Amino acid sequence: MQKRFTGRGVVVPVGVALAVMVFWGATPIMTRLALEDLGPLEVACLRTAIAGAVAAPLLARGRNPVPVGRVSRKLLLLSAAAGFVVFPVVYTIGQQRTSALHGVMILAALPVFTGAYAALVVRRVPRLAWFAGCAVALAGEVVLIAGSGASASDATLTGDLLVTAAALCVSAGYVAGAMLPPRGLSSLGTTLWGVFLGAVFLGPLLGLLLVGEGVPDAGMTAWAAVIWLALVTSILGYAGWYWALDRGGIQRIATFQFLQPVSGFVLAVVVLGEHVTMPIAFGGALIVGGIVAAQRA
Protein backbone atom coordinates (compact mmCIF):
# COMPACT_ATOMS: atom_id res chain seq x y z
CA MET A 1 0.00 0.00 0.00
CA GLN A 2 1.39 3.40 -1.01
CA LYS A 3 2.07 5.89 1.78
CA ARG A 4 0.29 9.24 1.84
CA PHE A 5 2.43 11.99 3.32
CA THR A 6 -0.19 14.55 4.35
CA GLY A 7 -1.55 16.42 7.36
CA ARG A 8 -0.12 16.16 10.84
CA GLY A 9 1.91 13.09 9.93
CA VAL A 10 4.37 15.33 8.05
CA VAL A 11 4.91 17.88 10.83
CA VAL A 12 7.40 15.81 12.86
CA PRO A 13 9.47 14.66 9.83
CA VAL A 14 9.67 18.27 8.66
CA GLY A 15 10.87 19.31 12.13
CA VAL A 16 13.50 16.58 12.14
CA ALA A 17 14.63 17.58 8.63
CA LEU A 18 15.01 21.20 9.77
CA ALA A 19 17.07 20.09 12.78
CA VAL A 20 19.33 18.01 10.49
CA MET A 21 19.88 21.06 8.28
CA VAL A 22 21.14 22.92 11.36
CA PHE A 23 23.54 20.04 12.13
CA TRP A 24 24.73 19.78 8.54
CA GLY A 25 24.87 23.56 8.19
CA ALA A 26 27.56 23.54 10.88
CA THR A 27 29.59 20.98 8.95
CA PRO A 28 31.55 23.52 6.83
CA ILE A 29 32.51 25.41 9.99
CA MET A 30 33.62 22.23 11.76
CA THR A 31 35.48 21.06 8.66
CA ARG A 32 37.25 24.41 8.46
CA LEU A 33 38.33 24.10 12.09
CA ALA A 34 39.52 20.51 11.56
CA LEU A 35 41.52 21.40 8.44
CA GLU A 36 43.55 23.95 10.36
CA ASP A 37 45.63 21.11 11.85
CA LEU A 38 44.72 18.06 9.72
CA GLY A 39 44.88 17.13 6.06
CA PRO A 40 41.69 16.66 4.00
CA LEU A 41 42.08 12.88 3.68
CA GLU A 42 42.84 12.62 7.39
CA VAL A 43 39.62 14.45 8.20
CA ALA A 44 37.56 12.32 5.78
CA CYS A 45 38.95 9.02 7.10
CA LEU A 46 38.98 9.96 10.78
CA ARG A 47 35.35 11.12 10.86
CA THR A 48 34.15 7.83 9.36
CA ALA A 49 36.53 5.70 11.45
CA ILE A 50 35.46 7.35 14.72
CA ALA A 51 31.79 7.04 13.78
CA GLY A 52 32.35 3.36 12.93
CA ALA A 53 34.08 2.77 16.27
CA VAL A 54 31.06 4.22 18.07
CA ALA A 55 28.64 2.20 15.93
CA ALA A 56 30.39 -1.17 16.48
CA PRO A 57 29.42 -1.73 20.16
CA LEU A 58 25.89 -0.48 19.48
CA LEU A 59 25.53 -3.00 16.65
CA ALA A 60 26.99 -5.74 18.88
CA ARG A 61 23.92 -5.44 21.10
CA GLY A 62 21.98 -7.12 18.33
CA ARG A 63 19.04 -4.74 18.16
CA ASN A 64 19.81 -3.79 14.55
CA PRO A 65 20.66 -7.03 12.75
CA VAL A 66 21.81 -7.09 9.14
CA PRO A 67 18.71 -6.86 6.93
CA VAL A 68 17.43 -10.06 5.40
CA GLY A 69 17.14 -10.30 1.64
CA ARG A 70 19.42 -9.58 -1.28
CA VAL A 71 17.72 -6.29 -2.22
CA SER A 72 17.91 -4.92 1.33
CA ARG A 73 21.59 -5.79 1.63
CA LYS A 74 22.34 -4.15 -1.70
CA LEU A 75 20.53 -1.02 -0.56
CA LEU A 76 22.56 -1.03 2.67
CA LEU A 77 25.84 -1.41 0.79
CA LEU A 78 24.85 1.39 -1.58
CA SER A 79 23.93 3.77 1.24
CA ALA A 80 27.13 2.92 3.14
CA ALA A 81 29.45 3.25 0.14
CA ALA A 82 27.82 6.42 -1.14
CA GLY A 83 27.45 8.31 2.13
CA PHE A 84 30.47 7.22 4.16
CA VAL A 85 33.14 6.17 1.64
CA VAL A 86 32.79 7.73 -1.80
CA PHE A 87 31.32 11.09 -0.81
CA PRO A 88 33.78 12.13 1.92
CA VAL A 89 36.82 11.01 -0.09
CA VAL A 90 35.81 12.19 -3.57
CA TYR A 91 34.31 15.43 -2.30
CA THR A 92 37.44 16.21 -0.27
CA ILE A 93 39.73 15.59 -3.23
CA GLY A 94 37.45 17.56 -5.54
CA GLN A 95 37.19 20.47 -3.14
CA GLN A 96 41.00 20.67 -3.08
CA ARG A 97 40.90 21.26 -6.84
CA THR A 98 38.11 23.82 -7.04
CA SER A 99 36.89 26.86 -5.16
CA ALA A 100 34.60 26.84 -2.16
CA LEU A 101 32.13 28.84 -4.26
CA HIS A 102 31.88 26.16 -6.94
CA GLY A 103 31.73 23.38 -4.35
CA VAL A 104 28.81 24.91 -2.48
CA MET A 105 26.95 25.75 -5.69
CA ILE A 106 27.25 22.17 -6.92
CA LEU A 107 26.08 20.74 -3.59
CA ALA A 108 23.12 23.13 -3.76
CA ALA A 109 21.68 20.77 -6.39
CA LEU A 110 21.51 17.85 -3.92
CA PRO A 111 17.74 18.19 -3.35
CA VAL A 112 17.14 18.07 -7.12
CA PHE A 113 19.36 15.00 -7.51
CA THR A 114 17.66 13.26 -4.57
CA GLY A 115 14.18 14.06 -5.85
CA ALA A 116 15.11 12.86 -9.35
CA TYR A 117 16.40 9.52 -7.99
CA ALA A 118 13.21 9.13 -5.96
CA ALA A 119 11.13 9.80 -9.07
CA LEU A 120 13.03 7.07 -10.93
CA VAL A 121 12.45 4.61 -8.09
CA VAL A 122 8.70 5.19 -7.85
CA ARG A 123 8.40 5.78 -11.62
CA ARG A 124 6.46 8.99 -11.16
CA VAL A 125 7.48 12.38 -12.50
CA PRO A 126 7.12 15.22 -9.96
CA ARG A 127 4.63 17.99 -10.68
CA LEU A 128 5.72 21.07 -12.60
CA ALA A 129 5.37 23.16 -9.41
CA TRP A 130 8.05 20.99 -7.76
CA PHE A 131 10.50 21.73 -10.56
CA ALA A 132 9.55 25.44 -10.45
CA GLY A 133 10.11 25.57 -6.68
CA CYS A 134 13.49 23.85 -7.03
CA ALA A 135 14.49 26.31 -9.76
CA VAL A 136 13.61 29.28 -7.53
CA ALA A 137 15.52 27.74 -4.61
CA LEU A 138 18.56 27.10 -6.84
CA ALA A 139 18.44 30.72 -7.98
CA GLY A 140 18.42 31.70 -4.33
CA GLU A 141 21.49 29.52 -3.76
CA VAL A 142 23.34 31.38 -6.54
CA VAL A 143 22.41 34.77 -5.06
CA LEU A 144 23.29 33.59 -1.56
CA ILE A 145 26.71 32.28 -2.52
CA ALA A 146 27.52 35.22 -4.80
CA GLY A 147 26.62 37.56 -1.96
CA SER A 148 29.04 35.82 0.37
CA GLY A 149 31.99 37.27 -1.52
CA ALA A 150 33.61 33.85 -2.12
CA SER A 151 36.28 33.67 -4.80
CA ALA A 152 36.19 31.25 -7.72
CA SER A 153 39.72 31.97 -8.93
CA ASP A 154 40.99 28.52 -7.91
CA ALA A 155 38.23 26.54 -9.61
CA THR A 156 39.16 23.83 -12.10
CA LEU A 157 37.06 21.62 -14.34
CA THR A 158 38.51 18.47 -12.71
CA GLY A 159 37.53 19.67 -9.25
CA ASP A 160 34.02 20.61 -10.37
CA LEU A 161 33.52 17.20 -12.00
CA LEU A 162 34.71 15.39 -8.86
CA VAL A 163 32.38 17.39 -6.60
CA THR A 164 29.50 16.77 -9.03
CA ALA A 165 30.24 13.02 -9.01
CA ALA A 166 30.28 13.05 -5.20
CA ALA A 167 26.93 14.87 -5.09
CA LEU A 168 25.32 12.45 -7.54
CA CYS A 169 26.66 9.52 -5.54
CA VAL A 170 25.54 10.69 -2.10
CA SER A 171 22.05 11.54 -3.43
CA ALA A 172 21.65 7.93 -4.53
CA GLY A 173 22.81 6.89 -1.06
CA TYR A 174 20.12 9.06 0.54
CA VAL A 175 17.39 7.34 -1.46
CA ALA A 176 18.81 3.87 -0.79
CA GLY A 177 19.02 4.57 2.94
CA ALA A 178 15.45 5.91 3.04
CA MET A 179 14.20 2.69 1.40
CA LEU A 180 15.57 0.47 4.19
CA PRO A 181 13.22 1.39 7.12
CA PRO A 182 10.14 0.10 5.26
CA ARG A 183 12.10 -3.15 4.80
CA GLY A 184 12.60 -3.63 8.53
CA LEU A 185 15.89 -1.85 9.29
CA SER A 186 15.45 1.28 11.40
CA SER A 187 16.87 4.65 10.40
CA LEU A 188 19.38 4.40 13.26
CA GLY A 189 20.29 0.86 12.20
CA THR A 190 20.79 2.01 8.62
CA THR A 191 23.13 4.75 9.83
CA LEU A 192 25.08 2.55 12.26
CA TRP A 193 25.64 -0.16 9.67
CA GLY A 194 26.53 2.50 7.10
CA VAL A 195 29.24 4.16 9.17
CA PHE A 196 30.55 0.78 10.36
CA LEU A 197 30.89 -0.53 6.81
CA GLY A 198 32.37 2.82 5.77
CA ALA A 199 34.96 2.51 8.54
CA VAL A 200 35.83 -1.01 7.34
CA PHE A 201 36.34 0.28 3.78
CA LEU A 202 38.36 3.35 4.79
CA GLY A 203 40.33 1.59 7.53
CA PRO A 204 43.21 0.53 5.23
CA LEU A 205 43.52 4.07 3.83
CA LEU A 206 43.61 5.53 7.34
CA GLY A 207 46.24 2.92 8.28
CA LEU A 208 48.44 3.97 5.36
CA LEU A 209 48.12 7.61 6.39
CA LEU A 210 49.08 6.80 9.98
CA VAL A 211 52.03 4.64 8.92
CA GLY A 212 53.31 7.26 6.48
CA GLU A 213 52.75 10.38 8.58
CA GLY A 214 52.23 9.14 12.13
CA VAL A 215 49.47 10.14 14.52
CA PRO A 216 48.29 13.65 13.57
CA ASP A 217 49.65 16.39 15.82
CA ALA A 218 46.42 18.37 16.07
CA GLY A 219 45.05 20.67 18.73
CA MET A 220 41.96 20.19 20.86
CA THR A 221 39.86 22.37 18.57
CA ALA A 222 40.64 20.27 15.50
CA TRP A 223 39.95 17.00 17.32
CA ALA A 224 36.69 18.37 18.74
CA ALA A 225 35.66 19.34 15.19
CA VAL A 226 36.43 15.84 13.90
CA ILE A 227 34.41 14.29 16.74
CA TRP A 228 31.51 16.59 15.86
CA LEU A 229 31.72 15.48 12.21
CA ALA A 230 31.74 11.83 13.31
CA LEU A 231 29.00 11.86 15.94
CA VAL A 232 26.70 14.73 14.99
CA THR A 233 27.11 15.02 11.22
CA SER A 234 27.57 11.33 10.37
CA ILE A 235 25.50 9.47 13.01
CA LEU A 236 22.88 11.86 14.39
CA GLY A 237 22.47 13.75 11.13
CA TYR A 238 22.15 10.71 8.86
CA ALA A 239 19.83 8.85 11.25
CA GLY A 240 17.51 11.84 11.42
CA TRP A 241 17.69 12.42 7.67
CA TYR A 242 16.88 8.82 6.76
CA TRP A 243 13.98 8.85 9.24
CA ALA A 244 12.59 12.11 7.84
CA LEU A 245 12.90 10.90 4.24
CA ASP A 246 11.06 7.68 5.11
CA ARG A 247 8.28 9.28 7.18
CA GLY A 248 7.80 12.48 5.19
CA GLY A 249 8.39 11.35 1.62
CA ILE A 250 11.70 11.63 -0.23
CA GLN A 251 10.70 14.30 -2.75
CA ARG A 252 8.98 16.42 -0.10
CA ILE A 253 11.73 16.27 2.51
CA ALA A 254 14.64 16.48 0.03
CA THR A 255 13.76 20.09 -0.80
CA PHE A 256 14.65 21.13 2.76
CA GLN A 257 18.29 20.56 1.86
CA PHE A 258 18.16 23.92 0.13
CA LEU A 259 18.20 25.36 3.67
CA GLN A 260 21.59 23.83 4.50
CA PRO A 261 23.71 26.75 3.19
CA VAL A 262 21.29 29.21 4.82
CA SER A 263 21.85 27.43 8.13
CA GLY A 264 25.58 27.51 7.48
CA PHE A 265 25.56 31.26 6.87
CA VAL A 266 23.48 31.90 10.01
CA LEU A 267 25.91 29.84 12.09
CA ALA A 268 28.85 31.64 10.45
CA VAL A 269 27.34 34.93 11.55
CA VAL A 270 26.87 33.66 15.11
CA VAL A 271 30.10 31.66 15.48
CA LEU A 272 32.55 33.42 13.17
CA GLY A 273 31.11 36.94 13.35
CA GLU A 274 30.47 37.26 9.61
CA HIS A 275 28.06 39.93 8.34
CA VAL A 276 24.71 39.52 6.59
CA THR A 277 24.43 41.49 3.33
CA MET A 278 21.36 42.30 1.25
CA PRO A 279 22.22 39.66 -1.41
CA ILE A 280 22.50 37.02 1.32
CA ALA A 281 19.14 38.02 2.81
CA PHE A 282 17.50 38.11 -0.64
CA GLY A 283 18.96 34.74 -1.57
CA GLY A 284 17.69 33.24 1.67
CA ALA A 285 14.21 34.58 0.95
CA LEU A 286 14.27 33.03 -2.54
CA ILE A 287 15.31 29.67 -1.09
CA VAL A 288 12.51 29.67 1.47
CA GLY A 289 10.01 30.70 -1.21
CA GLY A 290 11.18 27.93 -3.52
CA ILE A 291 10.89 25.34 -0.76
CA VAL A 292 7.35 26.49 0.03
CA ALA A 293 6.42 26.21 -3.67
CA ALA A 294 7.93 22.73 -3.93
CA GLN A 295 6.19 21.63 -0.72
CA ARG A 296 2.82 22.77 -2.08
CA ALA A 297 3.43 20.52 -5.07
CA angle 146, 86, 181 (to 5 degrees): 100
The whole-angstrom separation of Cα 156 and Cα 154 is: 7
Tell me the helices (H) and strands (E) count for the chain, helix number first.
15, 0
DSSP, collapsed to helix, strand or coil, labels residue 297 as: coil
| pLDDT < 70 positions in the chain | 1-9, 99-105, 144-155, 264, 268-269, 271-277, 280, 295-297
- Residue 127 DSSP label: P
Position 2 scores a pLDDT of 43
How confident is the model over 225-247, as pLDDT tens digits? 999 999 999 999 999 999 998 88
User: In sequence order, what are the residues at sequence separation of 6 or more whose Cβ sits closer than 8 angstroms to the Cβ of residue 163?
Assistant: 90, 91, 94, 95, 98, 102, 103, 106, 107
How confident is the model over 142-200, as pLDDT tens digits? 776 666 555 555 667 788 788 889 888 999 999 999 899 888 889 999 999 999 999 99
